[in-house]
């Protein structure tokens, strides 16, 4: 142990964790009903079949911690030196549900419960809005309520909705609302859709270990290559887990994307106003959730710029106070470290 972890800024910065999860009992029950009936998609069957029923130490801890928006969570934050958490309804949110009415009800109720928790701990908790992408028009209205009435700071969408992606036309009301309301759009992973999951479950690689990242970087790239950010130049998309590896890949993504566009290889790929580096540096924000790994963080800062990379813990799926110590000890300039832990989150979430 290199140093004690304290809240309050004893190292010259506050620590703001930006991808922290909670569940509501109704959400949990609705997903588990689909899982028990065998009606959920394969990714949800695998993920919630495990987290919802396993008696392991890990899953027991996570189930208890997801449902708590009170003292347990505050104690965990205190113990790890986390000053503030930006909270969102855990993956898959409402997106595995098939009934739009149920999805709307659960999203709305989750927003109300999160608002109450933020009022109980105004200096510790901030909220991201939950929506029901199966109903984009309703979701756009809920974004307005979430920002204007509940005072929330962004929206978390758990990647695909039954295999559909936010760059598709039917989701335009959601993108427009984010742009109009100046709400960052956090695209968080869930299990890959049935059309993508292939043999990942048999391989034990569908979840956070790999499948999450592949599917979510696919989503992020769809957004970057389809002209979304030409339509909405001020829209900010957030990606966790080391920006889902896009900064590492971006040179090749960009080169091959341009080669494909030039040679008119795909009907869908039209010339864009900018190259992919431009969108990465103007429309994408990243967190290091689940990647307490200095080489990945330094790469993000180098490629995206020091103003676009933020800290996240990913509690309760990742809760290792030692990771905070490693990141405190990262060999980057002090001003960059303060941006990473504190001021970038304040700026982009408007805290």
Q: How far apart are the first and last CA of the chain?
A: 31
The mark string for 19-38 relative to Mn ion (x by CB under 5 A, - otherwise) is x-------------------
Choice between 209 and 259, CB closer to ligand 1DF = 209
Closest CA to 203 of 218, 216, 192: 192
**Which partner from the list ligand 1DF, Mn ion, none does 208 bind, CB cut-off 5 to 8 Å by kind?**
ligand 1DF
Choice between 19 and 206, CB closer to Mn ion = 19
248: phi then psi, degrees, rounded to nearest 5: -70, -40
Choice between 47 and 157, CB closer to ligand 1DF = 47
Closest CA to 220 of 152, 286, 265: 286
Q: By CB under 5 A, how many residues form the interface with Mn ion?
A: 2
Q: Is 215 an interacting residue with respect to Mn ion (CB under 5 A)?
A: no
Contact predicate 219/193, CB 8 Å: no
Least separation in angstroms between residue 351's CB and ligand 1DF is: 21
**Which partner from the list Mn ion, ligand 1DF, none does 136 bind, CB cut-off 5 to 8 Å by kind?**
none
**Which partner from the list Mn ion, ligand 1DF, none does 95 bind, CB cut-off 5 to 8 Å by kind?**
none
Burial label, 209 (beta-carbon count in 10 A; 0-12, 13-18, 19+): exposed
Residues 6+ apart with CB under 8 A from 218: 196
Give the Å distances, CA to CA, from 9 to 13, 85, 123, 320, 341.
5, 15, 14, 20, 10
Choice between 62 and 177, CB closer to ligand 1DF = 62
Site for Mn ion in 285-324 (CB under 5 A): 314
Choice between 156 and 283, CB closer to ligand 1DF = 156
Stretch that binds Mn ion, among 18-26, 214-222, 272-280, 336-344 (CB under 5 A): 18-26
Interface with ligand 1DF by CB under 6 A: which residues? 21, 47, 90-91, 189, 207-208, 289-290, 314, 317
Least separation in angstroms between residue 108's CB and ligand 1DF is: 21
Closest CA to 88 of 24, 136, 38, 20: 20
Choice between 167 and 314, CB closer to ligand 1DF = 314
318: DSSP letter: S
90: DSSP letter: P
Provide the binding-site residues for Mn ion, judged by CB under 5 A: 19, 314
């Amino acid at each position: 142990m290199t140093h004690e972890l304290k809240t309050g800024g004893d190292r010259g910065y506050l620590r703001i964790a930006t991808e922290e999860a909670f569940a509501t009992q109704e959400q949990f029950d609705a997903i588990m009903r689909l899982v028990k009936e065998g009606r959920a998609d394969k990714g949800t069957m695998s993920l919630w079949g495990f987290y919802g029923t396993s008696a392991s130490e890990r899953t027991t801890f996570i189930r208890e911690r997801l449902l708590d928006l009170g003292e347990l969570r505050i104690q965990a934050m205190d113990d790890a030196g986390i000053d503030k958490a930006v909270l969102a309804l855990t993956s898959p949110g409402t997106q595995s549900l098939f009934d739009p009415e149920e999805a709307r009800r659960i999203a709305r109720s989750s927003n109300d419960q999160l608002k109450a928790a933020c009022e109980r701990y105004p200096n510790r908790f901030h909220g991201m809005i939950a929506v029901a992408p199966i109903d984009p028009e309703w979701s756009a209205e809920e974004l307005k309520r979430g920002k204007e009435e509940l005072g929330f700071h962004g929206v978390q969408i758990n990647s695909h909705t039954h295999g559909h992606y936010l760059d598709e036309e039917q989701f335009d009301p959601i993108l427009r609302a984010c742009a109009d309301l100046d709400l960052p759009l956090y695209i968080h992973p869930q299990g890959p859709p049935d059309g993508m999951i292939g043999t990942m479950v048999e391989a034990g690689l569908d979840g956070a270990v790999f499948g999450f990242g592949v599917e979510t970087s696919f989503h992020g790239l769809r957004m970057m290559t389809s002209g979304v950010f030409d339509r909405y130049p001020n829209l900010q998309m957030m990606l966790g887990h080391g920006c889902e590896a896009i900064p590492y890949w971006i040179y090749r993504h960009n080169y091959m994307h341009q080669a494909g566009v030039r040679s008119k290889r795909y009907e869908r790929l039209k010339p864009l106003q900018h190259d992919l580096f431009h969108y990465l540096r103007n429309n994408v924000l990243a967190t290091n959730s689940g990647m307490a790994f200095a080489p990945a963080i330094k790469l993000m800062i180098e490629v995206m710029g020091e103003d676009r990379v933020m800290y996240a813990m990913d509690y309760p799926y990742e809760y290792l106070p030692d990771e905070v110590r490693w990141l405190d000890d990262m060999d980057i300039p002090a001003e960059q470290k303060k941006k990473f832990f504190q001021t970038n989150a304040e700026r982009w979430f408007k805290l």
